[in-house]
Chains A and B, each alone.
Chain A
Amino acid sequence: MEISTALLGNAIIAGLLLGGFYAAVSVGISISFGMLDVVNIAHPAFILLGSYIAYIVNDTMGFDPIVVSVAVSPLFFMLGMALYRVYYLCFEKRGQESLRGLAFFFGVLFITEVTLVLIFGVDYRMVQTAYSETTLRLGVLDFPLRLVVPFLVSLAMVVGVQLFLTHTFFGRAVLAVAQDQLALRLMGINPYKVKERAFALSIATAGVAGAFLIVIQPVQPSIGRDFIGLAFAVCVLGGMGSVWGTLLGAFVLGFAESFTATFFGPSWAPAVSFGLLLATLAFRPSGLLGR
């Protein structure tokens, strides 16, 4: 196959746009796992929940899914707070978080998936938006809007999270909690409240990412599991606890998948992504931008 500029150019564009989406999926994990040390394996379940809520509203009232998801993100925030409270009371307080916490979130993931199946069935669901079927063409390069719009909003969200963490008092409290809980307590801040809200934020981002997902591709309940590995791969690759690292990791993964799909055969793309994760864990566990 001759590698034309069109093919190469479009592979780069696709990788970039895909990477933006992967960043939205993973930024929540970057917070909950990277900063709070909570291994929320159920993160993709909330992404799917976001997708289905966006789908229902879009199907019945025709509103744009991304707008809907931003509007309902406070609900996800509250859901996150409730979930963290249960997690904290049952596990973290008792020091059992490693094994039991993992099993707990695994169970939550499962219950969410099966409940979605019982309600919606396993057929794929799609949304109709004003831009789903438009593609901008610049010369030989294609920019399908169904990828571009989520990409832009996702970037805005990720940058927003980073600015929140570095420029607001609460945000810096989150960064502090990640570094040294005791010191934080000595300064008069309740680490539980900080962690509770940070975790809630991560779940809120999951809800919005869900809308991106259903704009980009059809969804059905079991695809959540495909994203567990991806989200953690991105975070570990980028470096835990670093939002810029997550963004970088997401782009690396997006490019890896896009290039593999275009030049070597799409069949190998999942192995490349996860192979990258395994290699990172084996040789540089702190990731690219990690501490």
Chain B
Amino acid sequence: MKLIRAIAGMLGVMLLAASGVTLAQQPPLRIGFGMSLTGPLAGNGKAALISMEIWRDDVNAKGGILGRKVEFVHYDDQTSPATVPGIYTKLLDVDKVDLIVSGYGTNVIAPAMPIVMQRNLCFMTLFGLNVNSKFGYDRYFQIMPAGPEPSMDWSQGYFNVAMTLSPKPKTVALVGADAEYPAMALEGARAHAKRLGLKVVYDKTYPPNTVDFSPIVRAIQATNPDFVYLASYPPDSAGMVRAVNEVGLKTGMFGGGLVGTQFAALKTQLGPLLNGMVNYEAYAPDVSKKFPFLEQFLAKYQARAVKEGVDPLGFYLPPYAYAMMQVLEQTIKAVGSLDQAKLAAHMHKAEFDTYVGKVRFAKNGEWAMPRMLTVQYQGIAGNDAEQWKQPGHVTVLYPIDYRTGMVKAPYYGSKK
């Protein structure tokens, strides 16, 4: 019985494979990927997909790449690692796509690596923190501007700004969620603390489904840290910000690596509660002059986003999802073919002009220079989204060439 079933299954799959063949004049250039359309990171996944589709439409309007129309083949990875091997083997062996890119986040990038490495493919990835350090793959590329040593570079800006406080801080509290990204970010923060000779007076994590964050904030307050570094995901980012305001945390500087405040949802929900906090952003209207063309992309993105119910601002993932595809486009055109080895070699040596500025990759595929912005929120009044589209609500503190002002300390006093 089992054998018959197995054969039937195989026949079914072969039929599926056969049905995937399309014939055209110049065959379309098919790019395959998994994307989080459901699950915890669905909001970002959908935003990224919109940006990539805008790119595809822009490119096809100009005649495609190498005379071929660009097409996407994508599946929902549900933000779950378990679906990834199935999705990528299907894309490669059944759908036979020409090129692949990753989904969003370490959770779905890592499981694809063995498949990619076995076939020696060039792999452009979207916002995974330090995945390649484990695999050491020379055809891996990452569009997140974390820097060549992501786990350290991620909190570099924050610690740099903290050391400009006066008096110079001597103690730091580290806190974060029990999850992969915060654990990695905290590891980097610990290294910075050691490097700068700071005493770590609090270093604990909390489970992601914590209901009440006040005991945690109180415990942190009891250690009287000179500043606090927090690495969290959207639900606990919101919870911690609320708890910090509720308890009235008194410290020199608060913030660090909170995921979530980059999106409109949390910006509007928390509103003035964000004042005084220092966090990372990928983009702010205050530095729009440094990124020409980005405004017109954002206008296109925002129009679609509102219709589809995703992040209406698009300051975080969308510009980078677009830039990632621009890098691929320029590489394919420069190389003139889809030879994976040549594509990878070109991406390692060239500098690319994209909507997020000049992009250059280090040997391990990460960015040669970190470029996440460290900002301080200020002057936020009320809970509307429109105010965020205007400059004046964040002060960019780092990197130096993007700086628009200095940090206001201490945290509690700077909320006025």
Chains A and B come from one and the same complex = yes
Residues of A that sit less than 8 Å from B by CB: 1-2, 4, 6-7, 10-11, 14, 18, 117, 121-124, 126, 133, 135, 142, 144, 147, 216-218, 220, 223, 226, 258, 261-263, 265-267, 269-270
User: Which of B38, B211, B212, B239 has a CB less than 8 Å from the CB of A117?
Assistant: B38
B104 to chain A, nearest CB (A): 14
Chain B residue numbers with a CB within 8 Å of A4 are 222
Chain A residue numbers with a CB within 8 Å of B212 are 14, 18, 147, 216-217, 258, 261
Q: Is the contact region of chain B dominated by helix, strand, or loop, or is it mixed?
A: helix
Contact, CB under 8 Å: B206 / A261: yes
**Contacts A121-B42, A122-B38, A122-B42 hold; do A267 and B205 have CB atoms under 8 A apart?**
yes
Q: Is B399 an interface residue when CB atoms closer than 8 A count as contact?
A: no
Contact, CB under 8 Å: A14 / B214: yes
Docked CA distance A258–B210 (Å): 11
Q: Is B413 an interface residue when CB atoms closer than 8 A count as contact?
A: no
Q: Which residue of A lies closest to B205 (CB)?
A: A267
Contact, CB under 8 Å: A266 / B235: no
User: Which of A7, A123, A147, A267 has a CB less than 8 Å from the CB of B207?
Assistant: A267
Contact, CB under 8 Å: B207 / A270: yes
Classify chain B: how many residues form its interface, as a range: 20 to 34
Contact, CB under 8 Å: B215 / A10: yes
Chain B residue numbers with a CB within 8 Å of A10 are 214-215, 218
Having A261-B215, A265-B204, one finds 9 other A-B pairs with CB under 8 Å, namely A1-B219, A1-B223, A14-B214, A121-B309, A122-B40, A135-B247, A261-B212, A267-B204, A270-B209
Q: Is B39 an interface residue when CB atoms closer than 8 A count as contact?
A: yes
Docked CA distance A269–B273 (Å): 27
Q: Is B178 an interface residue when CB atoms closer than 8 A count as contact?
A: yes
Q: Which residue of A lies closest to B204 (CB)?
A: A265
**Contacts A265-B205, A267-B204 hold; do A142 and B238 have CB atoms under 8 A apart?**
no
Can you pick out 13 interface pairs between chain A and chain B where the beta carbons lie within 8 Å of each other?
Answer: A6-B218, A7-B222, A122-B40, A122-B42, A123-B265, A126-B269, A135-B246, A218-B239, A262-B216, A265-B205, A266-B205, A266-B207, A267-B178
Q: Which residue of A lies closest to B42 (CB)?
A: A122
Chain A residue numbers with a CB within 8 Å of B222 are 1-2, 4, 6-7
Report which residue of B210, B239, B247, B265 has the largest number of chain A beta carbons within 10 angstroms of its beta carbon.
B210
Chain B residue numbers with a CB within 8 Å of A121 are 42-43, 309
A15 to chain B, nearest CB (A): 9
Contact, CB under 8 Å: A124 / B218: no
Chain B residue numbers with a CB within 8 Å of A218 are 235, 238-239
Contact, CB under 8 Å: B209 / A226: yes
Contact, CB under 8 Å: A14 / B215: yes
Q: Is B28 an interface residue when CB atoms closer than 8 A count as contact?
A: no
Report which residue of B39, B42, B222, B245 has the largest number of chain A beta carbons within 10 angstroms of its beta carbon.
B222
A164 to chain B, nearest CB (A): 28
Contact, CB under 8 Å: B210 / A269: yes
Docked CA distance A267–B178 (Å): 7
Chain B residue numbers with a CB within 8 Å of A124 are 234-235, 238
Q: Which residue of A lies closest to B245 (CB)?
A: A133
Contact, CB under 8 Å: A144 / B246: yes
B243 to chain A, nearest CB (A): 9
A12 to chain B, nearest CB (A): 11
Within 8 A of A (CB), among B27-43: 38-40, 42-43
Chain B residue numbers with a CB within 8 Å of A267 are 178, 204-207
Docked CA distance A124–B242 (Å): 14
**3 closest A-B pairs (Cβ-Cβ)?**
A266-B206, A262-B215, A261-B215
Contact, CB under 8 Å: B215 / A258: yes
